[in-house]
Amino acid sequence: MSKHSSKVIVTGGAGYIGSHTVVELVNAGYEPIIVDNFVNAEKSAIQGIETILERKVTVYEGDCADHDFMKGVIAQESDIVGLIHFAAYKAVGESVKKPLKYYRNNTDSLLTLLELMVEHNIHHIVFSSSCTVYGQPDKLPVTEESPKKPAESPYGNTKQICEEILEDCVNSEMPVNVVALRYFNPIGAHVSAQIGELPLGVPNNLVPFVTQTAAGIREKLTVFGNDYNTHDGTCLRDYIHVVDLAKAHVSALNYLGKKSEASTYNVFNIGTGTGSTVLDVINTFEDVNDIKLNYTIGPRRAGDVEKVYANVDYANTELNWKAELSLADALKDAWRWQLSLKKD
C-alpha cells in the first residue's frame, strides 16, 4: 500500500481522538476522509485541524450507519485503502439509561461499514475499542490475552460485541484485515491548543473535570474514594496522551498495509504501560501549571475499577509504536487547551 495520498475514511473524525488522528494521518502522508454527523463533536474541530495542517480536509456530514449515505461517500472517493472507525455513542451513564440507542448505533455503524468494505474491495479496518473489555482485571498489567469480563455498561458491551463481530467476520474468511485498538485513558490535547477534548455538559472523565475546576467552570473536584489498595488510596489508571494514541492508529494502518493474507484479526493494548492515581494526576497538574486545585475526597463511586494499566509490549514490537509523551506533557497541553476555550 503506497502511503502517499492513500485515502482513509475516518468515521467520527471530528471527535476528540478522531481529530488528532486526522492530523497524524496527514503528517504520515495519508489522505483522511472525515465522516461525522456532529452529534458528539463540534464543527470548530474541523477549523482546528485545518489551522494545524494549514490546508483543507475533506468532510462528509452524515451518519455512518446510513448505508446509502456511506455508499455515496465511497463512490465519490476512489482508491480508499482503509477505514478507521471511531464513530460511536460513548457516555457510560447514558448507555445504562438508553441501552437500545447504544446497541442500535454502535453495532449498526460497524455492520454497515463491513458490508460496504466487501462491496467495494476495501480490506483494512482499524477499530476503536477500549480497555473496559477487561473490567477489574485479576492480574496486572493487562495483556491482550487477559480474560474479558462481563461489561459494566451497555456502552462497554457494545465494544465487546463489535470486537466479536469483527473476529467472526475474519473467521468466516471475509476478505478483511482488522486491528482493534484497546485504548486505556486518553488525555491531553494537541500542543497547538487548536484541538482537544470538548465534553458536552458535565465531564465524565477526570482531566476535563480538573481543567474546568482550575478554570473556575466547576466549583470543585471530588475524588471518589481514597481507601483503595494503591500507593495513595485513589484509583489508578493508564493515562495516554491523545497524540500518542493518534499515532498508534497510523502505525496500525501501516501494519495492515504490509499484510498479504486475506483475513487477519489483531488486538493491541494502547497505553503507556504505567499507572497513575487520581492524586498523581492532580499533583502533577498543579505542579506543571503552577496552579492550586479545589478538590475534596468523597466516597467511592459505584462501578469504578480499583486499578488497571496496560502491558504494551505487543504494540511496541508488532506495530513499532511506543508512547513518547509524559503525564506532565498531557496535563500541560490539556490546560493550554482549556485556556484557549476561555478566550472564545
3-state helix, strand, coil in the chain (%, to 5): 40, 20, 40
Cβ distance 177 to 259 under 8 Å? Answer: yes
Distance CA 328, CA 310 (A): 19
Amino acid at 263: S
Q: Which of 60, 155, 228, 255 is catalytic?
A: 155
103 is catalytic: no
Stated as kind and residue range, the H or E segment containing 255 is helix 242-257
Decide: helix, strand or coil at residue 308: coil
Q: What is the dihedral of CA 16, 18, 22, 25, to 10 degrees?
A: 120
Cβ distance 148 to 131 under 8 Å? Answer: no
Q: Which of 51, 90, 336 is nearest to 207 (CA)?
A: 336
**Residue whose grid cell is 452529534:** 39
Cβ distance 99 to 154 under 8 Å? Answer: yes
Catalytic residues: 155
